[in-house]
Amino acid sequence: MGKTTNRKPYPRELRERAVRMVREHEGEYASRWAALTSIAEKFGCNPETLRNWLRQAERDEGTAEVDPGFGTGASVSVGRALLT
């Protein structure tokens, strides 16, 4: 079953502004999560929602941090070994 919601999506401009604020003010907080929590409150959204917007923006821009073990030859080899 799918999750139903009556909430309309946040406007693109609001998402972009919130992400920009995190980037501009992150250094003023003890951690990224502290920045997300504070800024999300100002925009009336959940900090996890803002974190997802930030991660999506990083992926869109090609600046997302990638797990060094993900997609490496070693993991592919292990996966193939499990299939045989």
What are the pLDDT tens digits along the chain (84 aa)?
666 667 778 999 999 999 999 999 999 999 999 999 999 999 999 999 999 999 999 999 998 876 665 555 555 555 555 565
Confidence (pLDDT) at 73: 55
Whole-number pLDDT of residue 18: 98
Distance CA 10, CA 77 (A): 42
pTM of the model: 0.69
Q: Is 71 inside a domain boundary?
A: no
Residue 81 resides in a domain: no
* Owning domain of residue 45: 9-63
Residue 70 confidence (pLDDT): 55
The count of domains in the chain is 1
Give whole-number Cα distances, 52 to 49, 64, 77, in Å: 5, 12, 31
Across the chain, where does the E strand assignment appear? none
What residues have CB less than 8 Å from 6, skipping those under 6 apart? none
Q: Is residue 70 part of a domain?
A: no
Does residue 56 lie in a domain region? yes
In sequence order, the 6+-apart residues with CB closer than 8 A to the CB of 23 are: 54
